[in-house]
Structures are given as structure tokens and as C-alpha cells.
Homo-oligomer: A and B are copies of this chain.
Amino acid sequence: MRVGYPAGMEATTAVRGCPPPAGRRERKKQRTREALIDTAFRLFGEKGFDATTVEEITDAVDVSSRTFFRYFASKEDVVLTYQEEQFATFLEELAARPSGEPVMTALRRAAVTVMRACEEGDHGFDPERFGCIQQMMERSPAVFGRSLEHGQKKQAEVTRIIAERMGVDPASDLRPHVAAGASNSAFRSAFEVLACGVTKAERMSDVLDKVFAVLEDGLNYPACETVPGPVRG
């Protein structure tokens, strides 16, 4: 199974508003793409991800199924367009953090900013769609799996940025890799904690903030056992 976009069909940033790129052809392509995404999300919301077939989506947009797969490598890819946007914004926010800021703090602030944008509808993010995705992640393993895969792939870029911030070489220093992994993990932990209902009626962004706080505090928890024990190592 291919992943990403077929040749010549690279993602032309969907959500954020690039002004008319040029050419009627290009514009039509863009419109088709957006129509597919909008319709897909509408149907996903109505009937669920699994119960919605590609054909239903393409019929509604009035294009052939073949066309769908020229825009998206898989049905799940439609959902990932949103995550793609989230990630791009995350990178922007991260780059915008003051260069003197400690690594985890920068990651935390960037992450929380993005999540807030999704909740509030800033930066062109649709909060309703955000909720729809949350649901699909819980209900449909395929979407969940792809999302994890996507996140893991993108992690490399975060690693690079962190390494730059730290002024170390990611080819010889493990720390940027681990930090990026932890940051990635934070998103998933926040999601999991929300899904499992550990924290009730809390915003994702708040949970995420707390998760990062836990990471910043360090994970060296002693065993409980011996009362206010001095036992360490």
C-alpha cells in the first residue's frame, strides 16, 4: 500500500488560505480536493468512518472513485490531512518560540497553542471536525493506526529541530530523539487519558499541558512501599 500522495499530487496546503495559486486547472483541482475532504468528513460524522465507502464519498462529489485515490493514497489519508495541518502549525509555533527557552518548555507551549487553536477554531482549524476526528480515533482502529504511523514519521522533523535548539548533532546524540519521542508520546497520552475518562470534561489542551508538566518534572518515581521512604536507587 502506497502512503503519501501519488506523483504530481503533492499536498497543496488545504486549510491555510494560500491566495489563488494560478490557473483555472489548479483551482479546480483544489476545489475537488476540498470537496472530497468536506464530503468525507460530513459522511464520516454521519455514518462513521468504517461504514462510509469511498464510492459514497465520490458519488456525492460526483467524481469517480479512481479520482479519489489520485488525491489520497488511502481512505484514512483524508482524515490525516487535518493532522498534517496540526503538525505544520506545531512546527511553526515551535520555531517561533524564543531560542533561549528550554526544550521541553518550547515543545509544551507549541503543543498547547496548537491544541487550543483546534478547540477554539483559530488558524483556520475547525473545532467540529476536530471532535469528529477524536471520535474516529476511538472507534476506528484503522484511523488510529494511521494516525500513530503519521505521527511517528513526522517525529524525525521534531528531532531535527530539537537538536538544533540544543546545539547537538542528532546523528550522535540520543537526547533529541528521546525528547521528540516523549513529545509525540505526550499527545497520545493526552488523547488516551481523555478517551479513558481519567479527567472529566477537561479540554484536550489542558490535559496536554499537564502531561508535558509531568514530563518536565521528570519520571524518576520511587516505588511506593516504604512509607515516606528515603529509598532511592
A interface residues with partner B (beta carbon < 8 Å): 1, 3, 50, 98-106, 141-142, 144-146, 148-149, 152, 155-156, 162, 165-168, 170-172, 174-175, 177-179, 181-182, 184-186, 188-189, 192-193, 196, 198, 207, 210-211, 214-216, 218-226, 228-233
Contact = CB atoms under 8 A, between A and B. Distances in A.
- Most B Cβ at <10 Å: residue of A156, A166, A178, A210: A178
Given A145-B148, A178-B219, 12 more contacts: A99-B223, A103-B223, A104-B220, A152-B188, A162-B221, A165-B224, A174-B193, A175-B214, A178-B211, A181-B185, A182-B182, A218-B219
A109 to B, nearest CB: 13
A117 B101 CA distance: 41
B3 A230 contact: no
A201 to B, nearest CB: 14
A225 B167 contact: yes
A98 B181 CA distance: 28
Contacts of A226: 100, 167
B216 A219 contact: yes
